[in-house]
Amino acid sequence: MPIVAPSLLAANFLKLQEECQMLNDSEAEYFHLDVMDGVFVPNISYGLPVIEQIRTATKKICDVHLMIVQPERYAEAFKKAGADILTVHYEACPHLHRNIQQIKSLGMQAGVSLNPHTPVDLLKDVLDDIDMVLIMSVNPGFGGQSFILHTIEKIRQLRRLIDERALNTKIEVDGGITLENAASVVRAGADVLVAGSTVFKSKDPKETIRQLKHIA
Ligand code: DX5
Ligand code: ZN
């Protein structure tokens, strides 16, 4: 069964406490928190003060997805704000190995995210050091986009790399996940499903989370 990680980017920010409570009562294990800087991606979302407050509203795992340049400048601040998992983008980190060590030394789990055009092979030399790979199945920056089909092949390739080395590295897939495509994503080897619009725009978000959890 996959871990379900609803993305609060699609939540109603005027009702954030109720949205957090709904997630607390649901089968979701992670709160997926998308941070965008308007530089690495063409959009700005929310940042540290919002995450600090969300932290006080849940005991679940705060899975922070940084779509920002120079994440090393903020890693410690995100730890203080309550991040359990901190994911940086391969494409934003010329010194990725150093970024990973920094995140782990701060006591967080380290994730690395790949844009749709970035091959999974490029992670070969850091795979043993990380806790999670986040495969983007849309171009990062916005919720509500369509799933890029080629992602399925990337998930399979990464699953093979991880299994060959008998690692516990999790595969998280983010962008355009629906009740229709989630099963094929899990069958390809995903461990964690991020879902924004599918959860928060549905009539019964808690039931949608339950369906994602029991999808395959
Ligand atoms: C996109 C973000 C995603 C986004 C997913 O850049 O990383 O987490 O919120 O939203 P949906 O599920 O609507 O594609
Ligand atoms: Zn995300």
Catalytic residue among 37, 131, 174, 191: 174
State CA 118 to chain mean position distance: 16
pLDDT computed for residue 216 by the predictor = 81
Q: What is the CATH number of the domain that holds 139?
A: 3.20.20.70
Of the residues 174, 180, 181, 197, which should be mutated to test ligand 1's pocket, given the most ligand atoms within 8 Å of the CB?
174
pLDDT computed for residue 99 by the predictor = 98
Residue 25 has pLDDT above 90, yes or no: yes
What is the identity of the amino acid at 19?
Answer: E
Exposure on the CB side of residue 50, measured as CA atoms within 13 A? 18
- The three-class DSSP label of residue 31 is strand
Instruction: Find the residues whose C-beta lies inside 6 A of ligand 1.
Output: 7, 9-10, 32, 34, 65, 138, 140-145, 174-177, 194-198
Residue 6 has pLDDT above 90, yes or no: yes
Question: Region 113-122: what's the mean pLDDT?
Answer: 98
Q: Identify the band that residue 82 occupies on the pLDDT scale cut at 50, 70 and 90.
A: very high
Find the ligand nearest to 9 CA: 1
Question: Region 102-131: what's the mean pLDDT?
Answer: 98
d(CA 84, CA 93): 20
Domain that holds residue 195: 3-213
Total number of domains in the chain: 1
pTM metric for this prediction: 0.98
